[in-house]
Amino acid sequence: MTTEAAPPAAEAFLLPLGDEEADGFWEGTAAGELRVQVCGACGALRFPPRVMCPECQSTERSWQPVSGRGTIWSFVVVHPPVLPAYNPYAPFPVITVTLAEKPSLRMVGNVVTGPGGDINGVDPGTIQIGEPVRVVFTARSRPDGTAVHLPQWVRDPESSVSGDS
């Protein structure tokens, strides 16, 4: 997994502020790791993060790195009107990825050509449901000057990941 800075034009994108429940996720992305919560009682993996395990209702939890590999479960193509920062990039694809570790773990993001790639760099007409992808991270600056490392996805033709589609 790689981390790279985004082009200056992308700095006006909406960025997550983070919160106590998600801090472990963002600490992982800053370290170049994709992490999900794991229940301390039953071991169930979960994402998005939450206080209570949906399997056993335990509040014991920690963060576990995952492979960063998955498959495209779904996608949409965003067209104008969009927020002003996104106008130069529209239309662009947004994908939902099923993680390799557990098909019900899904993350939403952009498919790009490589770390720091533009969100419109992949032709939406070439995206296939079930296509293998892997995570890369792009550093972006928040208005307060702190950095956030956003997970994005690149095609991974060498992967043999299979998810439910």
Segment 64-76, tens digit of pLDDT:
999 999 999 999 9
DSSP class of residue 131 equals: -
pLDDT band at residue 161 under the 50/70/90 scheme: low
Cβ atoms 108, 139 nearer than 8 A: no
Does 17 have pLDDT greater than 90?
no
**Predicted pLDDT at 152:** 97
How large is the average pLDDT for residues 51-56? 96
pTM for this predicted structure: 0.87
Q: Which of 2-6, 29-33, 158-162 has the lowest mean pLDDT?
A: 2-6
Q: How far apart are CA 20 and CA 104, in angstroms?
A: 24
Question: Looking up tokens 């790195």, which residue turns up?
Answer: 65
* Average pLDDT value for the chain: 90
49: preceding bond cis by omega (within 30 degrees): no
**Predicted pLDDT at 157:** 86
How large is the average pLDDT for residues 111-136? 96
